[in-house]
């Protein structure tokens, strides 16, 4: 029997390692086009590089977002085991490390889950089928999409086994710490799962002292993780936002969409719902099943588990092992006729079919599941549970197969610059580079010694984001505003020190020249952009700046540095409105454009194109903006309008994080002149109104003295010779945690250009040091040290108690 069990574990492990690779073709990665490569892989690379540069506990991410608190990226797990392992393998691509780690952890989880079922005396064939249900649930889907939803699973299952086998409770502490470090957002749900399971296992002999000890072990794990959780929590509070859709909170949910089929829920079949219902008939299972039903049916509980952000079923994924454990136990009891089945049981189980308007696949699933249960009960043969595989494979695998996988060729393009020796020739100490080949995919690509302005992270710097889109009026090419994605914007590029652009397009923006050809692309250079850090006396008061119209604010940022206090209140700005004269030269046959009193009415049967030839070519910058209204299909799909390669998007009403981009703005330029406008228009019917066109100067004189940077562990360090009294200016976003010293003396940091770090600076030579320490890092480390001392005491006490008894 022991050999039989070992054989099954080997089969489960091999099955789990092979299954994921059947889901995608050889030409694609084992990773979704949604967030896998551009978030989970690229941010992990950036974290690894930050550790190499700053040590095991990095504080600042200079490569992304113009310079950010490293804990703005902690949602992705700064100290995950796979990232720590990657530090030992610097030459191995992060995709290989993360994908391998996730598949192996998936295989281990399946073996642990089968072990858990066996510990509860489930029949081996029922345990095996239930394990396959676990394997084909949303766990498999998120394995190649949102890995943070499931990467904690092996540690959760080990914790459940510790409780089941009555092992010392102190073992829960390191396991739960690993859950927190892998995915702190889901740790609350995991704690609830462990608490419910502990109560279930001890329901007949519950001792208040042991229950208190269990709660203390979970609390101790949070205390031990203080070095990570406290700085993360303060970063979240500093950048608090809500941009998700939030409809009225329902009092109940009888559709069970969080349990059934939803890839962002648990993704189970109807068999799981039937088994939960039948579990209410069993005296030992009734309490736990009742609590599970309450969690599934009361949306307010999901809201709490989601930290009050939204009601989304993803937070219930940690309940997968607990629910499927109940399924396995119910199937075993049904096979042994310990649970009675009656014809009237069909009535309550039909409610979700009615509420969900009985989609065909759901009805078929329900019929198959009912048949399996009845066959098991009336024929008294547990072997009939294997018939449920038809349901599980058809329904669950369908969920996981409806995925768009990242093409290997796209990923290779994304990483094409990483090993290019050309990078070492660029002057990147005080300047930045942007990859403009992809609108959103490459925003998190972090390269050694390369600084960028773009990023995509769940803990977003709201001040920088507001400057990026609301002040600079950048085009929004993505479904949400969380992605700061640079397209063409010469004024922003000048302000942020974007000296280099990497592109595959023949179009060259104003001010840039070809620097070199690289890996099928071109590196462009603009030597006239401002450095990242400099001194100047060309100032304008913030009070005056706020009175300006949006287009003149952008023009003011070309000419001045905006400070809180400045004697300069008068401006010489050139942002003139113009009437665009053009000739229509090309138009798609399926496109109909009608001029109206307020603008234009667009009717496009499918994605369409048109070209407008300007009667007078523009040698300056062209700022074009308009409102989009009366959109016919905005409930179902996004609206996108692209002009000369610059894309704006209004996300559909169904988007998880709608960007609310109702006014499209484009900043257009050309190294020679703008002679035509090439438009690409989304399918649908909609109106373009309130059209405004401004002409801005392509370049303006600006006097500055760059900071001569020296190599150090600080964010910035160097010397500067100021010709007059003025300001020290950077394009590093202001965040709590900065300290600035001039000639060894601590200075009061001021916000310049509405968003960035700066300070007053007198005439003469100065030595400047800009340092950053994440808020809460020191206190969090002390909390962790205190937690370690408590843990050692608990361990010694438990060992002594175990020895005495």
Say how far apart CA 224 and CA 179 lie, in whole Å.
12
Instruction: Give tens-digit pLDDT for 541-560.
Output: 999 999 999 999 999 999 99
pTM of the model: 0.91
For residue range 703-747, list pLDDT tens digits in order. Answer: 999 999 988 888 999 999 999 999 999 999 999 999 999 999 999
The pLDDT score that the predictor gives to residue 255 is 79
449 Cβ neighbours under 8 A, 6+ residues apart: 423, 428
**663 — phi, psi (to 5°)?**
-120, 115
User: Where among 477, 501, 532 does a domain terminate?
Assistant: 532
Domain count, the chain: 4
Instruction: With H, G, I as helix, E, B as strand and everything else as coil, classify residue 562.
Output: strand
For 498, the token pair is: 């974007």
Task: Give the relative orientation of helices 172-182 and 226-238 as an angle to the nearest 10 degrees.
Answer: 30
Give the whole-number percent of the chain exceeding pLDDT 70. Answer: 93
Last residue of a domain, one of 339, 373, 401: 401
Please check whether residue 553 lies inside any domain of the structure. Answer: no
Instruction: Judge whether 52 lies within some domain.
Output: no
* Helix residue spans in 239-319 (DSSP H): 270-279, 286-297, 299-305
Q: What is the pLDDT of residue 382?
A: 45
Of the given ranges (83-92, 221-230, 793-802), which has the lowest mean pLDDT? 793-802
Report the sign of the C-alpha dihedral through residues 690, 494, 695, 552, in that order. Answer: positive
Min mean pLDDT across 186-190, 238-242, 688-692 is at 238-242
In a domain, 568, yes or no: no
Residue 195: strand, helix, or coil: helix
Identify the band that residue 575 occupies on the pLDDT scale cut at 50, 70 and 90.
confident
- Verify that 486 and 583 share a domain, yes or no: no
**What band does 45 get if pLDDT is binned at 50, 70 and 90?**
very high
pLDDT greater than 90 at residue 700: no
- Residue 589 burial by Cβ neighbours in a 10 Å radius (0-12, 13-18, 19+): exposed
Task: Give domain status of residue 434, yes or no.
Answer: yes
- DSSP bridge partners of 591: 604
Co-location of 418 and 389 in the same domain: no
What's the rounded Cα separation, in Å, for the pair 385 and 70? Answer: 50
Helix (H) or strand (E) holding 708: strand 708-709
Taking phi over 0 as left and psi of -120 to 50 as alpha, with beta for the rest, 163 belongs to: alpha
408 has a pLDDT exceeding 70: yes
**Is 338 in the same domain as 421?**
no
Are both 180 and 222 inside the same structural domain? yes
Assess whether 671 and 580 both reside in one domain: yes
At 100 the three-state DSSP class reads helix
**Which tops the pLDDT comparison, 381 or 178?**
178
Last residue of a domain, one of 368, 401, 434: 401
DSSP 459-478: S--HHHHHIIIIIS-----S
Confirm whether 227 is domain-assigned: yes
Q: Does residue 422 sit in the same domain as residue 458?
A: yes
Mean pLDDT of 567-584: 78
Tokens of 34: 């949604």
Please compute the mean of the pLDDT values over residues 213-240 and round it to a whole number: 93
- CATH classification of the domain holding 609: 2.60.120.260
Domain boundaries, position 413: 409-532
Terminal Cα distance for the chain, rounded = 33
pLDDT at 572 over 90: no
Q: Do 210 and 349 fall within a single domain?
A: yes
In sequence order, the 6+-apart residues with CB closer than 8 A to the CB of 622 are 666, 667, 668, 669, 674, 693, 694, 695, 696
With 90 as the cut, is the pLDDT of residue 144 above it?
A: no
Residue 308 lies in a domain: yes
Q: Is residue 799 in a domain? A: no
Q: Helices 208-224 and 226-238, interaxial angle, to 10°?
A: 70
Mean pLDDT score of the chain, rounded to an integer? 87
Task: Calculate the CA 93 to chain-centre distance.
Answer: 20
Same-domain pairing of 498 and 604: no
For 349-403, how does the pLDDT look when each residue is reduced to its tens digit (9 = 90+)? 888 887 766 567 778 778 878 877 887 777 655 454 455 555 555 555 555 556 7
- Look at strands 539-541 and 561-563 and give their pairing: parallel
- Report the greatest alpha carbon distance in the chain: 95
Note whether 643 and 757 are same-domain residues: no
What contacts 215, CB < 8 A, 6 or more positions away? 195
Contact 63, 532 (CB under 8 A): no
Closest C-alpha among 397, 583, 359 to residue 23: 397
The answer to whether residues 749 and 668 belong to one domain is no
Distance CA 93, CA 104 (A): 17
Span 110-131, average pLDDT: 92
Identify whether residues 150 and 275 lie together within a single domain: yes
Q: What is the mean pLDDT of residues 245-251?
A: 60
pLDDT at 570: 67
Tell me, yes or no, whether 107 and 142 share the same domain.
Answer: yes
Per-residue pLDDT tens digits for 506-551: 888 888 999 988 777 889 999 999 999 999 999 999 999 999 999 9
Residue 360 included in any domain: yes
Contact 270, 224 (CB under 8 A): no
Q: For the segment 472-506, what is each residue's pLDDT rounded down to a tens digit?
A: 999 999 888 888 988 889 999 999 999 999 988 88
CB 648 within 8 A of CB 472: no
pLDDT of residue 389: 53
pLDDT confidence of residue 766: 96
Question: Using 50, 70 and 90 to split pLDDT, how confident is the model at 251?
Answer: confident
Handedness of CA 119, 125, 128, 130 (dihedral sign): negative
Q: Please answer whether residues 613 and 583 qualify as being in contact, where contact means their C-beta atoms are separated by less than 8 angstroms.
A: yes
Got the DSSP string for 696-707?
A: E-S------EE-
pLDDT grade for 243, boundaries at 50, 70 and 90: low
Categorize the per-residue pLDDT at 623 as very low, low, confident or very high, splitting at 50, 70 and 90.
Answer: very high
What span, in angstroms and rounded, lies between the C-alpha atoms of 319 and 306?
A: 14
* Position with higher pLDDT, 109 vs 657: 109
SS (H, E, C) 297-332: HCHHHHHHHCCCCCCCHHHHHHHHHHHHHHHHHHHH
Q: For position 530, what pLDDT does the model report?
A: 96
Whether pLDDT at 683 is above 60: yes
pLDDT at residue 562 in the model = 94
């Amino acid at each position: 029997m022991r050999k039989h069990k070992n054989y099954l574990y080997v089969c489960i492990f091999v099955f789990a390692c092979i299954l994921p690779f059947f889901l995608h073709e050889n030409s694609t990665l084992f990773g979704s086009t949604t967030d896998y490569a551009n978030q989970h892989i690229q941010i992990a690379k950036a974290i690894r590089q930050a550790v190499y540069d700053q040590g095991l506990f990095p504080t600042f991410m200079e490569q992304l977002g113009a310079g950010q608190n490293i804990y703005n990226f902690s949602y992705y797990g700064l100290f995950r085991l796979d990232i720590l392992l990657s530090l030992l393998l610097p030459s191995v691509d992060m995709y290989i490390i993360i994908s391998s780690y996730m598949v192996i952890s998936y295989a281990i989880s399946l073996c642990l889950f089968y072990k858990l079922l066996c510990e509860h005396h489930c029949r081996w064939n029922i345990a095996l089928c239930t394990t396959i249900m676990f394997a084909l649930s949303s766990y498999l889907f998120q394995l190649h999409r949102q890995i943070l939803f499931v990467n904690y699973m092996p540690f959760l299952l080990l914790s459940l086994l510790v409780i089941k086998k009555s092992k010392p409770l102190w073992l829960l502490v390191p396991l739960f710490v690993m859950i927190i470090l892998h995915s702190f957002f889901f740790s609350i749900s995991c704690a609830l799962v462990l608490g419910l399971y502990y109560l279930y296992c001890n329901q007949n002999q519950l001792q208040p002292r042991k229950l208190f000890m269990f709660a203390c072990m979970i609390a101790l794990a949070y205390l031990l993780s203080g070095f990570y959780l406290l700085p993360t929590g303060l970063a979240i509070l500093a950048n608090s936002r809500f941009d998700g859709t939030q409809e009225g909170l329902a009092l109940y949910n009888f559709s069970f969409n969080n349990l059934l089929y939803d890839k962002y829920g648990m993704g189970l079949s109807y068999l799981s719902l039937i088994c939960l219902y039948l579990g209410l008939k069993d005296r030992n299972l009734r309490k736990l099943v009742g609590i599970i039903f309450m969690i599934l049916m009361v949306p307010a509980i999901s809201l709490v588990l989601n930290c009050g952000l939204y009601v989304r079923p993803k937070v219930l994924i940690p309940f997968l092992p607990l629910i499927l454990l109940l399924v396995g136990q119910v199937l075993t009891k049904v096979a042994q006729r310990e649970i009675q089945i009656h014809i009237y049981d069909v009535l309550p189980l039909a409610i979700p079919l009615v509420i969900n308007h009985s989609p065909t696949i759901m009805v078929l699933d329900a019929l198959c599941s009912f048949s399996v249960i009845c066959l098991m009960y009336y024929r008294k043969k547990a072997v009939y549970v294997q018939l449920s595989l038809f349901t599980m494979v058809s329904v669950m695998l369908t969920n996981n197969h409806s995925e768009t996988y990242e093409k290997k060729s796209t990923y290779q393009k994304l990483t094409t610059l990483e090993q290019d020796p050309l990078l070492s020739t660029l002057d990147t100490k005080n300047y930045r580079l942007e990859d403009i080949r992809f609108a959103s995919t490459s925003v998190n690509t972090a390269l050694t010694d390369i600084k960028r302005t773009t990023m995509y992270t769940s803990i977003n710097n709201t001040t920088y984001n507001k400057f990026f889109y609301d002040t600079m009026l950048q085009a929004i090419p993505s479904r949400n505003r969380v992605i700061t994605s640079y397209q063409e914007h010469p004024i922003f590029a000048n302000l942020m020190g974007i000296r280099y652009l990497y592109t595959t397009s023949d179009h060259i923006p104003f001010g840039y020249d070809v620097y070199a050809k690289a890996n099928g692309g071109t590196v462009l250079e603009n030597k006239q952009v401002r450095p990242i850090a400099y001194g100047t006396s060309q100032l304008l008061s913030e009070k005056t700046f706020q009175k300006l119209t949006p287009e003149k604010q952008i023009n003011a940022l070309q000419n001045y540095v905006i400070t809180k206090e400045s004697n300069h209140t008068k401006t010489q700005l050139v942002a003139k409105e113009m009437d665009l004269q053009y000739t229509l030269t090309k138009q798609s046959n399926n496109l109909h454009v009608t001029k109206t009193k307020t603008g234009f009415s667009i009717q496009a049967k499918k994605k369409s194109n048109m070209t407008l030839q300007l009667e007078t070519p523009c040698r300056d910058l062209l700022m074009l903006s308009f409102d989009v209204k009366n959109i016919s299909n905005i409930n179902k799909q996004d609206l996108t309008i692209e002009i000369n390669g610059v894309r704006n998007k209004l996300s559909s009403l169904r988007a998880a994080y709608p960007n609310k981009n109702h006014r499209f703005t484009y900043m257009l330029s050309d190294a020679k002149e703008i002679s035509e406008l090439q438009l690409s228009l989304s399918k649908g019917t909609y109106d373009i109104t309130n059209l405004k066109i401004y002409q801005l100067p392509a370049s303006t004189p600006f006097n500055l003295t760059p900071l001569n940077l020296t190599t150090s562990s600080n964010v910035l360090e160097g010397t500067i010779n100021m010709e007059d009294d003025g300001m020290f200016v950077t394009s590093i976003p202001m965040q709590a945690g900065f300290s600035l010293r001039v000639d060894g003396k601590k200075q009061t940091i001021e916000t310049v250009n509405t968003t960035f770090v700066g300070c007053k600076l007198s005439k003469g030579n100065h030595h400047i040091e800009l340092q950053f320490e994440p808020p809460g890092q020191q206190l969090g480390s002390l909390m962790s040290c205190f937690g370690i001392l408590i843990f050692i005491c608990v361990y010694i006490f438990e060992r002594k108690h175990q020895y005495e008894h």
